[in-house]
C-alpha cells in the first residue's frame, strides 16, 4: 500500500508538470484568451477553479486524516454516532455561500455575453457577419459590406463583431476557442452573439485563429475547421475594398491558369461562385465562395495551402473529408485538367 501511495504521488507530479508546461496553443486554447469574451470566460474559470480547489483541500484533509487515523486495528466496536446538527449546518451553509460567490458573476457575465442590442439599432455601425454552416464548410457573409467569403473569416481587431448564425442542413456549432465560447448553429432559428478580437493577442497568434465546429454533424465533423484572420481595422477596411472591387471573376494571368478557368467555368461554377458580391440568397450558396481562394491559409479548411494539396483535394475530396457534398459532382477530370484548375484557383487573389 505504502509503495503504491508513493507511485500515485509521482504520477500526480508528472501530471502537474504537464499542466504547468502548457496552456495550449495561442491560436486555439481557451487558456490563452484573446478578446473580451474569452477574457470574461477565463475569469469565471479561474474564480470557479479557485473556489473548487478550496473545497477539494478541505475534503482531502479530512480524507487523509481518516485514512491515517481510523484504520481497523482491533475488534472493538466504535461508538455509534447518529450525526451532528452543528456540523451538518456548517457543511450546508458554507457551500451555499460559496455558490453565491460564483453565481453572481456568472449571471452578470451571462447577460453581458448575450447583449446584441447594437445589432437592432437603426443605422448601426456595428460590423455584422452572417454565418451559414454547411456540411463541412462555413459561409461568411458581410451584409453591410455586401461581400461573401468562405472558410476563412476576416475580422478587424479591437472591435465588437456581431454574428448571425444559421445552418443550411444539420445542427453545427460555431467556436473560436481562443476568442470566445461557442454558439450552436441551429436549423430553424438564427442565433446571435458577439466576439471581440484583441489586437496584441492576435499578433501573438500570428493573426490567425483556429475555428471549429463543436456539434456532431456527420462523418467529417472533426474536419469542419475554419480559420479567422484577425487584422487591424485599416487592413480590414483595405481587404473589404479589395473584395468589393472584384465585380467580375478575376482573369487568369498565365496560359495554364486560363485553361483552368475554362474548365472551372464548365465544371465548377454551377456550385462555386468566384465573385464576392452578395447577389444570391444564402440558400443558393451551396458551395464555398472561391473569390479570394489564393489568399487563404488552408485548402478546404484543413490542408496546408499549396498547389499540390489543391490538386489532391480536387482529385478525391472523399479521402480528405468523408461524406462531403462535393464528391462526384463534377465528373472525371484528367490530371492535366486538375493541374490547370489548381493553377487558376491558386491565382485567385484579391490582395497582393
Partner 1 sequence: MSTYAQKKGFGATLWDFLTTVDHKKIAILYLIAGGLFFLVGGLEAVFIRIQLAVPNNDFVSAGLFNEIITMHGTTMIFLAAMPLIFAFMNAVMPLQIGARDVAFPFVNAVSFWLFFFGGVFLNLSWFLGGAPDAGWTSYASLAIASKGHGVDFYILGLQISGFGTLMGGINFLVTIINMRAPGMTYMRMPLFTWSTFVTSALILFAFPPLTVGLVLMMFDRMFGAHFFEAAMGGNTIIWEHLFWIFGHPEVYILILPAFGIFSEIFSMFSRKRLFGYSSMVFATVLIGFLGFMVWAHHMFTTGLGPVANAIFAVATMAIGVPTGIKIFNWLFTMWGGSVKFTTPMHYAFAFIPTFVAGGVTGVMLAAAAADYQYHDTYFVVAHFHYVIVGGVVFALLAGTHLYWPKMFGTMLNETLGKITFWTFFIGFHMTFFIQHFLGLWGMPRRVFTYLPGQGFETANAVSSFGAAFMSVGVIVMLINIIVTSVKNVKVGNDPWGDGRTLEWAIPSPPPFYNFKQLPLVRGLDAYWIEKMEGKKGMTPAEPLGDIHMPNSSFLPFIMSLGLFIAAFGAMYHVDKVSWALPVMILGLLITFGAMFTRSVKDDHGFHIHKEELMDDDDKGVKA
Q: Which of 274, 262, 245 is nearest to 351 (CA)?
A: 245
For partner 1, the closer CB: 114 or 238: 114
What is the C-alpha to C-alpha distance for residues 142 and 149, in angstroms, rounded to an integer? Answer: 8
Q: CA distances (Å), 292 to each of 224, 275, 285, 288, 295, in order?
A: 19, 9, 16, 11, 5
Provide the minimum distance between the beta carbon of 113 and partner 1 in the complex, in angstroms, as a whole number: 5
With contacts defined by CB under 8 A, name the span among 77-85, 146-154, 271-279, 330-338 that binds partner 1.
77-85
Cell output for 59? 475534503
Span between the terminal Cα atoms of the chain, in Å:
67
Provide the minimum distance between the beta carbon of 89 and partner 1 in the complex, in angstroms, as a whole number: 10
What is the C-alpha to C-alpha distance for residues 43 and 163, in angstroms, rounded to an integer? Answer: 23
Q: Which of 2, 3, 20, 80 binds partner 1 (CB under 8 A)?
A: 80
For partner 1, the closer CB: 31 or 256: 31
Q: Which of 251, 240, 227, 252 is nearest to 278 (CA)?
A: 240
For partner 1, the closer CB: 14 or 238: 14
For partner 1, the closer CB: 29 or 244: 29
For position 141 contacting partner 1 by CB under 8 A, the verdict is: no
What is the C-alpha to C-alpha distance for residues 163 and 155, in angstroms, rounded to an integer? Answer: 11
For position 328 contacting partner 1 by CB under 8 A, the verdict is: no
Sign of the C-alpha dihedral, residues 115, 119, 125, 128? Answer: positive
For partner 1, the closer CB: 265 or 319: 319
For partner 1, the closer CB: 217 or 252: 217
Q: Which of 109, 277, 325, 346 binds partner 1 (CB under 8 A)?
A: 109
Q: Is 212 left (phi over 0), alpha (psi -120 to 50) or beta?
A: beta
With contacts defined by CB under 8 A, name the span among 106-114, 141-149, 255-263, 285-293 that binds partner 1.
106-114
What is the C-alpha to C-alpha distance for residues 134 and 279, in angstroms, rounded to an integer? Answer: 19
For position 63 contacting partner 1 by CB under 8 A, the verdict is: yes
Cell output for 316? 478525391
**Which residues in the 204-263 window bind partner 1 by CB under 8 A?**
210, 212-223, 225
For position 111 contacting partner 1 by CB under 8 A, the verdict is: yes
Provide the minimum distance between the beta carbon of 50 and partner 1 in the complex, in angstroms, as a whole number: 11
**Which residues in the 81-100 window bind partner 1 by CB under 8 A?**
81-84, 87-88, 91-92, 95-96, 99
**Which residues in the 282-321 window bind partner 1 by CB under 8 A?**
302
For partner 1, the closer CB: 266 or 328: 328
For position 40 contacting partner 1 by CB under 8 A, the verdict is: yes
CA 258 to chain centre: 36
What is the C-alpha to C-alpha distance for residues 168 and 188, in angstroms, rounded to an integer? Answer: 9
Antiparallel, parallel or unpaired: β 172-176 and 137-142: unpaired
Q: Which of 318, 312, 320 is nearest to 338 (CA)?
A: 312
Cell output for 181? 465560447
Cell output for 188? 430553424
With contacts defined by CB under 8 A, name the span among 117-125, 169-177, 196-204, 341-349 that binds partner 1.
169-177
For position 170 contacting partner 1 by CB under 8 A, the verdict is: yes
Size, binding site for partner 1 by CB under 8 A: 98
For position 107 contacting partner 1 by CB under 8 A, the verdict is: yes
For position 273 contacting partner 1 by CB under 8 A, the verdict is: no
Q: Check: CB of residue 290 under 8 Å from CB of residue 272.
A: yes
For position 122 contacting partner 1 by CB under 8 A, the verdict is: no
Provide the minimum distance between the beta carbon of 316 and partner 1 in the complex, in angstroms, as a whole number: 14
Amino acid at each position: 500500500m505504502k509503495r503504491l501511495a508513493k507511485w500515485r504521488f509521482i504520477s500526480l507530479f508528472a501530471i502537474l508538470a504537464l499542466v504547468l508546461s502548457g496552456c495550449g496553443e495561442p491560436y486555439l486554447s481557451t487558456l490563452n484568451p484573446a478578446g473580451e469574451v474569452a477574457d470574461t470566460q477565463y475569469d469565471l474559470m479561474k474564480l470557479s477553479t479557485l473556489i473548487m480547489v478550496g473545497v477539494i483541500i478541505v475534503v482531502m484533509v479530512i480524507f487523509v486524516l481518516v485514512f491515517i487515523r481510523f484504520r481497523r486495528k482491533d475488534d472493538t466496536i466504535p461508538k455509534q454516532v447518529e450525526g451532528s446538527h452543528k456540523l451538518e449546518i456548517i457543511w450546508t451553509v458554507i457551500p451555499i455561500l460559496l455558490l453565491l460567490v460564483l453565481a453572481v458573476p456568472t449571471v452578470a457575465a451571462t447577460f453581458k455575453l448575450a447583449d446584441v442590442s447594437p445589432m437592432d439599432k437603426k443605422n448601426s455601425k456595428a460590423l455584422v457577419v452572417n454565418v451559414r454552416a454547411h456540411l463541412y464548410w462555413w459561409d461568411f457573409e458581410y451584409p453591410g459590406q455586401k461581400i461573401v467569403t468562405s472558410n476563412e473569416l476576416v475580422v478587424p481587431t479591437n472591435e465588437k463583431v456581431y454574428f448571425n448564425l444559421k445552418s443550411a442542413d444539420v445542427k453545427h456549432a460555431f467556436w473560436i476557442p481562443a476568442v470566445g465560447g461557442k454558439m450552436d448553429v441551429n436549423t430553424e432559428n438564427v442565433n446571435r452573439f458577439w466576439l471581440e478580437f484583441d489586437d496584441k493577442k492576435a499578433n501573438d497568434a500570428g493573426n490567425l485563429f483556429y475555428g471549429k465546429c463543436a456539434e456532431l454533424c456527420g462523418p467529417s465533423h472533426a474536419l469542419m475547421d475554419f480559420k479567422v484572420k484577425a487584422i487591424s481595422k485599416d487592413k480590414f477596411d483595405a481587404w473589404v475594398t479589395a473584395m468589393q472591387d472584384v465585380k467580375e471573376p478575376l482573369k487568369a494571368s498565365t496560359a495554364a491558369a486560363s485553361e483552368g478557368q475554362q474548365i472551372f467555368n464548365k465544371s465548377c461554377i454551377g456550385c462555386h461562385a468566384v465573385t464576392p458580391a452578395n447577389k444570391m440568397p444564402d440558400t443558393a450558396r451551396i458551395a464555398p465562395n472561391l473569390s479570394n481562394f489564393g489568399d487563404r491559409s488552408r485548402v478546404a479548411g484543413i490542408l496546408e495551402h499549396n498547389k499540390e494539396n489543391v490538386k489532391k483535394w480536387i482529385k478525391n475530396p472523399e479521402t480528405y473529408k468523408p461524406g462531403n457534398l462535393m464528391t462526384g459532382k463534377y465528373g472525371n477530370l484528367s490530371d492535366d485538367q486538375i493541374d490547370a484548375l489548381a493553377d487558376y484557383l491558386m491565382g485567385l487573389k484579391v490582395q497582393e
